Amino acid sequence: MAIKQLSSLMSLAFMTLMSSAVSAQTRPEDTEVWKPVPPVVAPAAVSGGAPSDAIVLFNGRDLDQWVTAADKSPAGWTVADGVITVDKARGNIETRRTFRDYQLHLEWRIPADIAGSGQGRGNSGVFLASTGLRDEGYEVQILDSYQSATYVNGQAGAVYKQHPPLANANRKPGEWQTYDIVWRAPVFGPDGALTRPASVTVLHNGVLVQDTAVLAGETVYIGKARYKAHGPSPIKLQAHGDPSAPISFRNIWVRELSPR
Ligand code: MG
């Protein structure tokens, strides 16, 4: 058979196949889904505000939703002018409530007159699940990384010592910055063995810096990350021991998500 004839036969066969695939779905309605209807969530009037189904963790007035991580006494950080400022002497604070999977919004500000360098320059952090009295858990780093170098898996937006941020989206010290985080907690079997690792997505000032990053375990300062089984856990904010001036937080809210 001549090559030309073979080629036109093959084209004919292909066209026949394509037309039968199209005819199998004859109506647009065949691919429409009507149920279940997604729940109505009223968005905030202003961008960054709490939607109607959010749990407000800081309303600008008090720390009622928070306790001292070390002893569960009322949180003693400073609240003034609608803003929380870290009290380093009082240590980490964490939420009274516990959470599994969630969407979290928080805003933080490095002092305009921040001094120091590297990890000693406005260091704090948000632990997505607190698993101990001190820095145990899974930390997304907060730090002045505007024009200040450190190890990249320890700069702002890093999953500490595990994933550097995909971009440096820092604003300069003195300006408010936002984190919007989607946290999928690790899943453990009845025997305590890990069945699904944690993952996290982070937008820093609206810029994607962690894209469903999978965690190797809890974030640790020294050594290799590993998991230990835990259930729903508090969200914790870090009072880092470096000597630089304390940072501030505002507008913190969370939306619980159904486990996947
Ligand atoms: Mg930190």
Per-residue pLDDT at 238 = 98
Percent of the chain having pLDDT more than 90?
90
Q: How far is the CA of 141 from the centre of ligand 1 (A)?
A: 5
Distance from the alpha carbon of residue 99 to the mean position of ligand 1, in angstroms: 21
If pLDDT is split at 50, 70 and 90, which confidence band does 69 have? very high
Distance CA 153, CA 196 (A): 23
Query: Which sign does the torsion angle of CA 207, 161, 199, 97 carry?
Result: negative
Gap from CA of 226 to ligand 1 centroid (Å)? 18
Tell me the pLDDT tens digit for each residue of 221-233: 999 999 999 999 9
Asked if residue 75 has pLDDT above 90, the reply is yes
Q: For residue 90, is pLDDT > 50?
A: yes
Query: How close is the Cα of 125 to the center of ligand 1, in Å?
Result: 4
Q: How far is the CA of 165 from the centre of ligand 1 (A)?
A: 14
Query: 33 CA distance to ligand 1 centroid (A)?
Result: 45
pTM: 0.90
Alpha carbon 101 to its chain's center: 10
Residue 1: pLDDT above 50?
A: no
Going from the Cα of 243 to the center of ligand 1, the distance in angstroms, rounded, reads: 13
224 C-alpha vs ligand 1 centroid, how far in Å? 17
**Average pLDDT for 54-80:** 98
Q: What distance in angstroms lies between residue 21's CA and the mean position of ligand 1's atoms?
A: 56
Q: Which residue has the tokens 């009082």?
A: 90
Q: What is the DSSP string of 189-232?
A: -TTS-EEE--EEEEEETTEEEEEEEEPSSS--SSS--------S
pLDDT at 208 over 90: yes
40 Cα: distance to centroid of ligand 1 (angstroms)? 36
Cα(116) to ligand 1 centroid in Å equals 14
pLDDT of residue 9: 52
How large is the average pLDDT for residues 16-26?
60
pLDDT digits (tens, 9 = 90+) for 133-165: 999 999 999 999 999 999 999 999 999 999 999
Task: For the chain, give the number of residues.
Answer: 260
Mean pLDDT, residues 9-20 taken together: 52
**Peptide bond preceding 232 in cis form (omega within 30 of 0):** no
Distance from the alpha carbon of residue 27 to the mean position of ligand 1, in angstroms: 55
Query: How remote is the CA of residue 143 from the centroid of ligand 1, in Å?
Result: 7
Q: Please tell me the distance between residue 112's alpha carbon and the centre of ligand 1 in angstroms.
A: 19
Distance 142 CA to ligand 1 centre (A): 6
DSSP states of the chain: --HHHHHHHHHHHHHHHHHHHHHHS--GGGG----SPPPP-PPPSSTTSPPTTPEEEE-SS--TTEEETTT-PBP--EEETTEEE--GGG--EEESS-BSSEEEEEEEE--TT----GGGSS-EEEEEEE-SSSS-EEEEEE---SS----GGGSTT-BTTTB--SS--PPPTTSEEEEEEEEE--EE-TTS-EEE--EEEEEETTEEEEEEEEPSSS--SSS--------SB--EE----SSSPPPEEEEEEEEE----
- 134 C-alpha to center of ligand 1: Å? 12
Question: Whose CA is closest to 219, among 146, 141, 157?
Answer: 141
Distance 8 CA to ligand 1 centre (A): 67
pLDDT at 235 over 90: yes
**Per-residue model confidence (pLDDT) at position 134:** 96
Cα of 10 from ligand 1 centre, angstroms: 63
Q: What is the mean pLDDT of residues 26-38?
A: 96
C-alpha 123 – ligand 1 centre gap (Å):
5
